[in-house]
Structure 1
Amino acid sequence: MSGSSVIMRAGCAIVVAAAALASPAAAEESVEGFSVSGAMRLRYEAIDGQARVGFNKSDDLVNLRTNVQAQYRKADIMVAVELYDSRVWGDRAGTPVSTNEVNALEPVQAYVTGTLRDLLGDGSKVTITAGRMMLNLGSRRLVAADDYRNTTNGYTGLKVDLSAAGGWKGSFIYTLPQIRSPDDLSDVRSAKVKLDKESFDLVLWGGQLSRAKVIGPATVELTYFHLGERDAPGRPTRDRSLDTFGGRVMLEPRPGQFDYEIEGFFQTGSVSISASPTAAHQRVAANFIHADAGFTFPGGWTPRLSIEYDRATGDKPGGKFGRFDTLFGMRRADLAPAGLYNALARTNIETVGVRFEAKPGQRIDWFAAYRPMWLAAREDSFSSTGVRDATGRSGDFAGHQLEGRIRYWFVPKRLQFEFDGVLLSKGRFLQDAPNATAGRWTRYASFNLLAIF
């Protein structure tokens, strides 16, 4: 079946479903504590002048992600199951397709949640969740359920959320991150149904503690996560043992006021120099910082203008391993879309950005951002492109990126259109490095239709 035929059929199905569900009678209902909800997202994306190494210079792809969740709630107890089905069409040899795009009929969530009230004093609340779950913690730069990507991240284990008097909040986890299956590329391309795995060969634990109004009206947050990884049968790894410490200070945007956010992480531990079972270990010393400051103008559009700075270290010759590992963090909110573009990640990058965003009405919002980009370590590969010059002679300027997004609700809270576009003008490094891809320009666009039921 051709990609255009898939788009037409899936798009018609989404529109018809959303229209049928748009009436109040079709809104999500709950019968004796039981409810069902879900979403379908259809995406067509195309790229020309691919910046990443090893893939087609020009490509396009059709993505369809469907998720359905069933919940049962009684008093302070809730049981939930959520099924994700992520597939693509139109891929060919050289198309970057992996379990980031395909994960068929996967029960990403299957958990039970219980809430204890006044355990830590009047007004306190402790919520305990056990099972398979999705996580979005803090800024989502380390632990997240990626939303732009066609598949998401799942975690199996235990999560404890607490809130107490004085503005205290916390989230603490002990989880086994789900390793998406299947492993074989041909099985991925054919969307073979195979349950994702979790084991004690990959463990993530730690948490975040925050308090509101610590520095004036600003919130302060402290973070620690440990990632432990080791080889498993048929799955060689870099044997990562990473401790990531960090903190964040944040003042939320408000009309007519300045706002800011500063977050930094330091990463230590050890990692193997390759996935070989006999590879030597290397000590880790990496770091990341994000800072932004903005002003939200008063008025119906609530436009916000902000300046952003991001720096994640790369690996330099000799000494400790310096490439920052963002663990399971999202990238779309700070850097750029994933999908066929996927050129920017929170590693070996330094960039300053200017962003303007606005919401002209209840149905529409948009933003535009510009950023020049450099390598934090010129001997390492730039971000997630795979482009590298081990001699460092290609310089450290990666290029200029201009991106934008517009979203419009055809049917409020039921049917949404989204367009994402990126224009990358490659700098000296992305043109002159020994394995750089051909051409000066990278152009990327995606058209998305989301139906919620």
Structure 2
Amino acid sequence: MSRLFYFLGAIAMLFVTDRASAQSHVESSQYASELFLRHELESDGQPFSTTADDQLVQQTGAYTVACWDCDDSVDCGDTVGNNAAKKPNPCANSHKDLFFNNDFSYLNDPYYQGHCLGDRLKLMTIGEDGRWGTLDIGGQQRLRYHHERGMGQQAGATRFEPTTNDFVLTRTRLYGNWQVNECVRFYTEGIYAADGANSEYIPRPIDRNFGDFLNAFVDLKLLESTTLRVGRQELLYGNQRLISPLDWANTRRTFEGAKVMIKTGDWETDIFYTHYVPVLPNELDRADYDQPFYGCYLSYSGFENFTVQPYYIGYDNNNPPIVGSGGPIAGSGDFSLHTFGIRINGGIDDWLFEMEGGPQLGRQSALGVNQEAGFCTCGIGRSLGSQLPWSPTLWGYYDYASGNAPGGDFNRFNQLFPLAHKYLGFVDAVQRSNIQSPNMLLTMKPTEKINLLFWYYHFMANQADDIVPSIGGTPPQSLTRKDFGDELDVLAKYQWGPRSNIILGWSHLWRGDKILAPTDADFVYSQWELDF
């Protein structure tokens, strides 16, 4: 409870301080919209390229909303002097997927006269004339409502059984970024996550964390091109298919260890060695030193129309496996995996493309066999904004991840630590494992403030005699059938303010004959989010 009071008190002080130091006038502004779905819902129908900590935020057009406390003489986002034309409000894109990548450099612009909530607590100088650097303080508040049918989470029930749950998830994140000088930086970020639900609902492990640290690290610039990061840190690579902080979860995912970041010319290279940090809701989280997670991720941007990202990821789990009625459960412990992959994405004119995949080798020691698996995603898209109203973008994808064939090596792909919710259906009934899925994605922008998403999937098992694992409770399945089902996801996002949005979503999964449970799954949800 003391940790709850700490977080609530801190956020209250931030709002009071910010409002007291700001002026009271509110003006309208034109500013660029953010990428369609932020974090795990993030997808405007175009692939984006990123290495560990550099996020690409697309500007998809200008729109008008109320801004916080603009100066009386100049609208939010306006400039003065020789550049009097109105410009997009830069504070709308200041917060990134990883908050330690936030960019508040626009506050140093002498022509910038706007103000957004929290700006007064950014780039605050420490010591006389800033001799001890600058400090940023801020965070995020999020509230989400779920109505779930047929998604389990009740005693004695799995997915696709007649269960109904209604609950609310709340999350507060607070961060402090101290840039001492060009060579030294300290960053810390805390989280408080809670739920309120009907009495039958069994909370998921990703629902609760009653006060903890997501990040607590120091950056040391060793050379002009090389930075060392040591401590607890979130990881995000590529399009988050294998490594992600999992922002959809009410808790987020983090690791503890060291990372070297090198930038030379068109190359960016991250080399990391960390340990996974599981969530302990009622006590401070601790790194699990029996789960080392390590690798090397590269990105080359020297080509005109596309980016290439080769990588290697290693993951060991030395914990004892879970033992079921048939013996040790594959992938639950006692294994060592090595995943080699490459991602290529880009576009030519209105055509877009993305490809990612590679083999996964290693040892399933608990089963006494080697691991030999693989995955692949191929997508091609077309932006139709110049031809049709509402700026639609249409994508066609095909997702594949190997399943296990009886006898010989173990072939079921392990999806590692992904943002699984973003892909293969928002119902979360499918992991990137023993799956084949042709799917279509359509995004549109009917107004300057509203974005729409429609995503349709057909799910098939790669191996009929293997299960298709779900996220949080795999339902009973036929071992002679491949048809897992079909899913439609519909989502609308309303950009309420420069740093605030509202999301409404509905998803339905029509089960196929591989699923032996009796009902389909429905998922309705709404979310409000504010960065500051």
| TM-score bin (small chain) | 0.7 to 0.9
Partner of 2:494: 408
Partner of 1:290: 377
Query: 1:451 and 2:510 equivalent?
Result: no
Please say which of residues 233-242 and 75-84 is displaced more in the overlay. 233-242
Partner of 2:290: 201
The SS at the match of 2:514 is: helix
Partner of 1:127: 227
Partner of 1:4: none
- Decide whether aligned partners of structure 1 residues 446 and 25 sit closer, same or farther in structure 2, where only a CA change above 3 A counts: closer
> Which of the pair is proportionally richer in strand?
1
The amino acid that maps onto 2:437 is T
- The size of the alignment, in residue pairs, is 399
The SS at the match of 1:428 is: coil
The SS at the match of 1:429 is: coil
In structure 1, distance between residues paired with 2:274 and 2:514: 39
The amino acid that maps onto 1:429 is K
Is this contact kept in 1: 2:274–2:292, CA < 8 A? Answer: yes
In structure 2, distance between residues paired with 1:399 and 1:199: 36
The amino acid that maps onto 1:437 is A
Partner of 2:264: 164
Unmatched segments (≥5 aa) in structure 1 = 1-12, 119-124, 183-191, 274-279, 431-435
The SS at the match of 1:287 is: strand
The amino acid that maps onto 1:78 is R
Alignment of 1:4-15 (within 5 A): none
User: 1:110 aligned to 183, 203, 216, which one?
Assistant: 216
The CA deviation at 1:176 is: 0.9
In structure 2, distance between residues paired with 1:298 and 1:39: 32
Is this contact kept in 1: 2:140–2:173, CA < 8 A? Answer: yes
In structure 2, distance between residues paired with 1:212 and 1:35: 31
The amino acid that maps onto 1:221 is Q
The CA deviation at 1:311 is: 0.9
The amino acid that maps onto 1:59 is N
The amino acid that maps onto 2:197 is G
The CA deviation at 1:361 is: 4.5
The amino acid that maps onto 2:485 is G
Alignment of 1:434-445 (within 5 A): 436-439=516-519, 441-445=520-524
Is this contact kept in 1: 2:355–2:378, CA < 8 A? Answer: yes
User: 2:316 aligned to 228, 232, 236, which one?
Assistant: 228
- Decide whether aligned partners of structure 1 residues 321 and 173 sit closer, same or farther in structure 2, where only a CA change above 3 A counts: same
Superposed CA offset, 1:87-111 (max 9, x none): 1111434x35232111110111101
The CA deviation at 1:54 is: 2.4
Please say which of residues 32-41 and 236-245 is displaced more in the overlay. 236-245
Query: 1:249 and 2:309 equivalent?
Result: no
Is this contact kept in 2: 1:51–1:442, CA < 8 A? Answer: no
Query: 1:81 and 2:188 equivalent?
Result: yes
The amino acid that maps onto 1:285 is E
- Decide whether aligned partners of structure 1 residues 316 and 387 sit closer, same or farther in structure 2, where only a CA change above 3 A counts: farther
In structure 1, distance between residues paired with 2:513 and 2:219: 52
Partner of 1:10: none
In structure 2, distance between residues paired with 1:313 and 1:91: 38
User: 2:299 aligned to 210, 215, 223, which one?
Assistant: 210
Partner of 1:367: 453
User: 1:44 aligned to 132, 145, 153, which one?
Assistant: 145
What TM-score do you get using the length of structure 2 for normalisation?
A: 0.70
The CA deviation at 1:25 is: 6.7
The SS at the match of 1:264 is: strand
The CA deviation at 1:387 is: 2.8
Query: 1:35 and 2:142 equivalent?
Result: no
- Decide whether aligned partners of structure 1 residues 448 and 285 sit closer, same or farther in structure 2, where only a CA change above 3 A counts: same
Structure 1 segments, 4+ long, off by >4 Å, are: 232-237
Superposed CA offset, 1:250-278 (max 9, x none): 115x7x521111100211111244xxxxx
Superposed CA offset, 1:204-231 (max 9, x none): 11111121244x5221111101111112
Partner of 2:89: none
- Decide whether aligned partners of structure 1 residues 361 and 157 sit closer, same or farther in structure 2, where only a CA change above 3 A counts: farther
Partner of 1:433: none
Percent identity over the alignment is 23
User: 2:158 aligned to 47, 54, 76, which one?
Assistant: 54
In structure 2, distance between residues paired with 1:205 and 1:131: 14
Is this contact kept in 2: 1:381–1:387, CA < 8 A? Answer: no
The CA deviation at 1:62 is: 1.0
Is this contact kept in 1: 2:142–2:171, CA < 8 A? Answer: yes
Is this contact kept in 1: 2:242–2:416, CA < 8 A? Answer: yes
Query: 1:259 and 2:352 equivalent?
Result: yes
The CA deviation at 1:301 is: 4.4
Query: 1:138 and 2:234 equivalent?
Result: no
Is this contact kept in 1: 2:321–2:333, CA < 8 A? Answer: no
In structure 1, distance between residues paired with 2:422 and 2:271: 23
In structure 2, distance between residues paired with 1:301 and 1:197: 48
Partner of 1:7: none
Superposed CA offset, 1:326-367 (max 9, x none): 111111332223xxx321221121101111112344432221
The amino acid that maps onto 2:406 is P
The CA deviation at 1:320 is: 1.4
The CA deviation at 1:232 is: 7.3
In structure 1, distance between residues paired with 2:447 and 2:255: 37
Query: 1:66 and 2:172 equivalent?
Result: yes
In structure 2, distance between residues paired with 1:99 and 1:176: 19
The amino acid that maps onto 1:36 is I
Partner of 1:239: 334
The CA deviation at 1:325 is: 0.8
Partner of 2:440: 354
What TM-score do you get using the length of structure 1 for normalisation?
A: 0.82
Q: Over alpha carbons, which structure has the higher Rg?
A: 2
The amino acid that maps onto 1:147 is D
Partner of 2:102: none
Query: 1:380 and 2:460 equivalent?
Result: no
